């Protein structure tokens, strides 16, 4: 790239961090291209999950999470990422074009980047300890900075409707043989795989903690922390929402999801995205109407709490090699 722009080492380091972003079923549905104008993010629809994600919302949000991760990576390396979202109306797969400006990294930039390799989706039971307000408020602020509303669901009636939506969505999806086949394909992966949800990251046994049900994956080998009481899980639920439900809104919501998860990781909290109630039309409408008062469009549900005191560290989920998702067009013909 031109002088005054990040060099190849910095770009590859930031893209490598971006590829640690969470994605639906760890499908990693993104591609990156570097040219003389900057870095570009594309949706990879060949990795879509039509039974789980029939409208592609999860895929776009996954790419949004990767976009935020790359912004964090560049910021920690001394570069402000200037993002042009959906830059080409004629090329729907082109989600972002990124230019750069030098800036001094802040302590917050470095802390968020350091959280990327430590972040895990923790599907286990959480501790019975409540998370103090002082740690929850920064999560809301992180989402707000991305143009997304993060709302903790506290009201008993709203929580009841959210839990009903989670359960109803699970029942509806489990009744679909195509969904069951898709989940089976993308879960229980073994050592050496570069995609999907490994058996070592899927809890065995129960998938309900307190009054919250999480997505059931087959072939789980992860034990619950010794002595944990599934009925005492004190994880709190957040709904991330936007004023619209278009591609830009979903991309922004994915960025906000990343921002909240990294802030939670920095604070020592455990977190697990719960996209299932928003993958089924009826239950997404239930969340919109009865949790958000028909005023916003729900994009993501997050379960956040303290990991159990004696919970073992989770292994990292596999990732595809950066070379599989990154094209350096500036080196072609060199």
281-298 pLDDT tens trace: 999 999 999 999 999 999
Q: Which of 254, 251, 241, 246 is nearest to 293 (CA)?
A: 241
CA–CA–CA angle 251, 209, 273 (5° rounding): 10
**Comparing 71 with 309, which gets the higher pLDDT?**
71
Q: What is the pLDDT of residues 25-56, one digit of tens each?
A: 999 999 999 999 999 999 999 999 999 999 99
Classify burial at 133, counting beta carbons within 10 Å of its beta carbon; exposed 0-12, middle 13-18, buried 19 or more.
Answer: exposed
Residue with tokens 């087959």: 218
Mean per-residue pLDDT of the chain: 94
The CA–CA distances, whole Å, from 131 to 20, 127, 156 equal: 26, 10, 18
Structure-token pair, residue 246: 């278009």
Q: Which of 8, 29, 1, 6 is nearest to 196 (CA)?
A: 29
Q: What is the pLDDT of residues 230-267, one digit of tens each?
A: 777 778 999 999 999 999 999 999 999 999 999 999 99
CATH class of the domain at 8-118+318-328: alpha beta
Report residue 334's pLDDT band, with 50, 70 and 90 as the boundaries. Answer: very low
Average pLDDT over residues 111-137: 95
CA–CA dist 123, 198 (Å, integer)? 12
Q: What is the pLDDT of residues 126-171, one digit of tens each?
A: 998 999 999 999 999 999 999 999 999 999 999 999 999 999 999 9
- The whole-number pLDDT of residue 331 equals 74
Residue with tokens 């989706």: 121
Report residue 85's pLDDT band, with 50, 70 and 90 as the boundaries. Answer: very high
- The whole-number pLDDT of residue 292 equals 98
- The whole-number pLDDT of residue 2 equals 55
Q: Is the pLDDT of residue 333 over 70?
A: no
CATH class of the domain at 133-305: alpha beta
The CA–CA distances, whole Å, from 313 to 200, 210, 228 equal: 11, 22, 15
- In what helix (H) or strand (E) does residue 18 lie, and over which residues does it extend? helix 8-18
Report residue 4's pLDDT band, with 50, 70 and 90 as the boundaries. Answer: confident
Is the alpha carbon torsion for 275, 48, 18, 96 positive or negative?
Answer: negative
Q: Would 8-118+318-328 and 133-305 be classified into the same CATH topology?
A: yes
- The whole-number pLDDT of residue 332 equals 57
Average pLDDT over residues 96-102: 97
Q: What is the pLDDT of residues 177-232, one digit of tens each?
A: 999 999 999 997 766 789 999 999 999 987 888 888 889 898 899 998 887 777 77
Q: Do residues 73 and 14 make contact, with C-beta atoms less than 8 angstroms apart?
A: yes
Q: Do residues 85 and 250 make contact, with C-beta atoms less than 8 angstroms apart?
A: no
Q: Is the pLDDT of residue 79 over 50?
A: yes
- The whole-number pLDDT of residue 314 equals 96
Domain ranges across the chain: 8-118+318-328, 133-305
Q: Is the pLDDT of residue 110 over 50?
A: yes
């Amino acid at each position: 790239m031109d002088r005054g722009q990040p060099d190849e080492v910095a770009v590859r380091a930031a893209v490598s961090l971006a590829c640690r972003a969470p994605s639906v079923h760890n499908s990693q549905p993104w591609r990156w291209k570097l040219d003389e104008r900057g870095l570009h993010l594309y949706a990879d629809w060949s990795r879509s999950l039509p039974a789980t994600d029939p409208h592609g919302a999860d895929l776009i949000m996954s790419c949004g999470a990767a976009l935020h991760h790359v912004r964090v990576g560049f910021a920690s390396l001394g570069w402000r990422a200037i993002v042009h979202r959906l830059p080409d109306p004629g090329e729907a797969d082109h989600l972002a074009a990124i230019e750069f400006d030098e800036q001094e990294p802040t302590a917050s930039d470095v802390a968020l980047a350091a959280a990327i390799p430590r972040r895990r989706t923790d599907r286990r039971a959480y501790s019975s300890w409540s998370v103090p307000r002082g740690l929850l408020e920064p999560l809301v602020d992180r989402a707000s900075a991305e143009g997304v509303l993060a709302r903790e669901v506290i009201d008993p009636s709203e929580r009841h409707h959210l839990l009903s939506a989670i359960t109803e969505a699970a029942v509806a999806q489990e009744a679909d043989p195509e969904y069951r086949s898709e989940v089976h394909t993308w879960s229980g992966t073994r050592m050496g795989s570069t995609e999907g949800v490994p058996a070592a990251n899927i809890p065995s046994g129960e998938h309900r903690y307190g009054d919250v049900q999480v997505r059931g994956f087959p072939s789980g080998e992860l034990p619950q922390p010794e002595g944990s009481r599934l009925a005492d899980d004190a994880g709190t639920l957040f709904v991330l929402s936007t004023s619209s439900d278009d591609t830009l809104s979903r991309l922004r919501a994915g960025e906000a999801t990343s921002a909240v998860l990294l802030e939670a990781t920095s604070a020592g909290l455990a977190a697990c995205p719960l996209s299932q109630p928003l993958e089924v039309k009826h239950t997404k409408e239930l969340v919109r109407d009865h949790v958000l008062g028909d005023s916003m469009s729900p994009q993501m549900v997050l379960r956040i709490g303290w990991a159990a005191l004696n919970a073992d560290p989770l292994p990292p989920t596999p990732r595809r090699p950066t070379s599989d998702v990154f094209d350096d067009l500036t080196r072609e013909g060199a």
